[in-house]
């Protein structure tokens, strides 16, 4: 059995939904289907989820959301008409949206989540209806009936462990099951959503619960590429990649998946395949626990801007027991998460995402580290980029760092920080943001073009 998830761009209009249904029917193994809400039809369009957030916000601030509700209804109306479905489904959707407005608004998060979830919920009903209209045996499954229980963290829910046992029985249900992504229910019976993009998580949870043979994630790209196609022209496709490699790449700018989405399938060792709804015959990229064939040391190169670095120095830092803990304690007090901490005997560099650090927080952190730890010097440098050069084939391979640094030297790019974890699966480089595009191209050429 396969679990297939279709993202918002795959469901943005009737034409896309027809493609989705064809893909579903082409493979009888595709038994559990997770759908997102209709996404953007073109660059300037608005996702249904964003329209629903606008409904909730308008209602909360003015007590009225008629205009916003009608805008959402008209998106579904257009789709239903083109799919040849009866008017009834549109009326049901309008009634559903209006009934959500009658919920208690005291807890804003709870109210907004209930509105947000309407996008996938109604989309799932519509897809199930369309499949039935063309003669398939399909049905909508409500996450509450199926037992998808989540924590009550509105807009950022976590799955509760008992969900996996509850969801197992989906395996024995007949026909094609259309399951709405992005939301589940708290133990008190309230709708709770994952963070944005969370339908990927729903698919992963279902695949793990039913022990699927494969989790297919349909989107609008043929595959994951070895470098960002907006940076490198015609980068090579990645056919197979391990979970570990994917994690390293996605954290530095490869945003194919929701960050938390791979956890449930990873724990079960279920492979994930990224595929394109608009080109389903393309092989896609498969994410596996362990790659069988490693032909090259490097599988991908990712890079992202928006980092800053806190440089700390103190004479005899290495001898001061508890120094690191105290620094990290200050970051914890300020709710700051860090990415890397490369260190030397008397130095420590803490790399953070810049958007967490407004100037007041920055000043407070600097003052506290200065005063509480008596450091000799502390500076914060902004506008940093991180590059991750990733590949399981780098393990025990001589000369990888030499090739990376050589490529950057030839391109006259200064490396400010370099870090290789003990896993040897990735090498991280910290550079100035302005050099990012040139740096990625230089490293890409070295590993993918020049010598292979």
Write the DSSP symbol of residue 180.
E
Min dist. Cβ of residue 202 to ligand ASP (A): 8
Output 257 or 307, the one with its CB closest to ligand ASP. Answer: 257
Stretch that binds ligand ASP, among 163-171, 192-200, 280-288, 318-326 (CB under 6 A): 192-200
Min dist. Cβ of residue 133 to ligand ASP (A): 24
The binder of ligand ASP chosen from 114, 186, 199, 226 (CB under 6 A): 199
Min dist. Cβ of residue 155 to ligand ASP (A): 10
Q: Which helix (H) or strand (E) holds 247?
A: helix 243-251
Min dist. Cβ of residue 37 to ligand ASP (A): 4
CA 190, CA 201: separation in Å to the nearest integer?
19
| 381 Ramachandran zone, left/alpha/beta (phi>0; psi -120 to 50) | beta
Min dist. Cβ of residue 173 to ligand ASP (A): 23
Output 200 or 304, the one with its CB closest to ligand ASP. Answer: 200
Give the contacts of 384 (CB within 8 A, at least 6 positions apart).
305, 307, 308, 309, 351, 354, 416, 430, 431, 432, 433
Output 182 or 254, the one with its CB closest to ligand ASP. Answer: 182
Q: In the structure encoding, which two tokens stand for residue 62, read together?
A: 């003015």
Establish if 13 lies at the interface with ligand ASP (CB under 6 A): no
Establish if 19 lies at the interface with ligand ASP (CB under 6 A): no
- Give the contact letters, 24-63, x = binds to ligand ASP (CB under 6 A), - = no: ------------xx---------x-x--------------
Stretch that binds ligand ASP, among 197-205, 230-238, 401-409, 443-451 (CB under 6 A): 197-205
CA 272, CA 1: separation in Å to the nearest integer?
13
CA 223, CA 180: separation in Å to the nearest integer?
24
Stretch that binds ligand ASP, among 86-94, 194-202, 331-339, 427-435 (CB under 6 A): 194-202
Min dist. Cβ of residue 194 to ligand ASP (A): 7
Q: Total binding residues for ligand ASP by CB under 6 A?
A: 13
Q: What is the CA radius of gyration of the chain?
A: 24
Residue 305's CB is within 10 A of a number of other CB atoms, namely 15
Min dist. Cβ of residue 394 to ligand ASP (A): 33
CA 424, CA 102: separation in Å to the nearest integer?
55
**8, 13, 301 from 42: Cα distances, Å:** 12, 11, 29
The binder of ligand ASP chosen from 143, 181, 184, 303 (CB under 6 A): 181
- Spatial CA neighbour of 419 closest among 432, 406, 431, 435: 431
Establish if 203 lies at the interface with ligand ASP (CB under 6 A): no
CB 79 within 8 A of CB 13: yes
CA 106, CA 16: separation in Å to the nearest integer?
38
**Residues in the chain, how many?**
452
Stretch that binds ligand ASP, among 153-161, 198-206, 220-228, 276-284 (CB under 6 A): 198-206
Establish if 154 lies at the interface with ligand ASP (CB under 6 A): no
Min dist. Cβ of residue 438 to ligand ASP (A): 33
Phi, then psi, of 2 in degrees rounded to 5:
-115, 145
Tokens 């996450």: give the residue: 143
Q: Which of residues 112-151 bind ligand ASP (CB under 6 A)?
A: 119
Output 38 or 303, the one with its CB closest to ligand ASP. Answer: 38
Q: Which helix (H) or strand (E) holds 225?
A: strand 224-225
List of residues contacting ligand ASP (CB under 6 A) = 8, 36-37, 47, 49, 119, 181-182, 196-200
């Amino acid at each position: 059995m396969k679990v297939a998830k279709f993202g918002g761009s795959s469901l943005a209009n009737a034409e896309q939904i027809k493609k989705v249904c064809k893909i579903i029917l082409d493979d009888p193994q595709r038994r559990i289907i997770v759908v997102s809400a209709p996404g953007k039809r073109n660059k300037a369009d608005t996702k249904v989820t964003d329209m629903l957030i606008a409904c909730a916000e308008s209602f909360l601030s003015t007590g009225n959301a008629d205009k916003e509700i009608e805008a959402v209804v008209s998106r579904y109306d257009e789709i239903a008409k083109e799919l040849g479905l009866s008017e009834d489904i549109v009326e049901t959707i309008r009634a559903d949206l209006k009934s959500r407005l009658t919920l208690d608004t005291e807890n804003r998060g709870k109210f907004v989540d209930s509105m947000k979830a309407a996008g996938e919920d109604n989309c799932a009903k519509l897809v199930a209806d369309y499949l039935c209209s063309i003669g398939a045996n399909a049905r909508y499954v409500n996450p509450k009936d199926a037992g998808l229980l989540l924590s009550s963290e509105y807009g950022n829910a976590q799955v509760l462990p008992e969900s996996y046992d509850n969801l197992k029985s989906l395996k024995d249900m007949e026909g094609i099951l259309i399951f709405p992504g992005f939301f589940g229910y708290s133990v008190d019976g309230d709708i709770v959503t994952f963070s944005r993009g969370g339908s990927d998580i729903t698919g992963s949870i279902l695949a793990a619960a039913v022990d699927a043979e494969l989790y297919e994630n349909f989107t609008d790209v043929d595959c994951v590429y070895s470098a960002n196609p907006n940076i490198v022209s015609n980068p090579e496709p990645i056919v197979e990649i391990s979970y570990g490699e994917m994690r390293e790449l996605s954290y530095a700018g490869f945003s194919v998946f929701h960050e938390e989405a791979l956890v449930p399938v990873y724990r079960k060792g279920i492979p994930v395949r990224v595929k394109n709804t608009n080109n389903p015959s393309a092989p896609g990229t498969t994410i596996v626990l362990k790659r069988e064939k490693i032909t090259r040391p490097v599988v991908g190169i990712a890079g992202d801007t928006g980092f800053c670095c806190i440089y700390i120095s103190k004479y005899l830092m290495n001898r001061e027991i508890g120094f690191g803990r105290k620094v990290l304690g200050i970051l914890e007090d300020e709710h700051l998460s860090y990415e890397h901490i490369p260190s030397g005997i008397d130095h420590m560099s803490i790399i953070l995402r810049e958007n967490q650090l407004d100037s007041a927080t920055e000043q407070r952190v600097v003052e506290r580290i200065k005063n509480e730890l008596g450091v000799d010097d502390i500076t914060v440098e902004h506008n940093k980029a991180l590059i991750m050069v990733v590949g399981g084939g780098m393990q025990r391979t001589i000369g990888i760092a030499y090739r990376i640094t050589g490529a950057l030297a030839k391109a006259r790019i200064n490396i400010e920080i370099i870090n290789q974890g003990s896993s040897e699966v990735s090498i991280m480089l910290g550079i100035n943001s302005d050099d990012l595009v040139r740096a990625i191209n230089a490293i890409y050429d070295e590993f993918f073009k020049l010598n292979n």
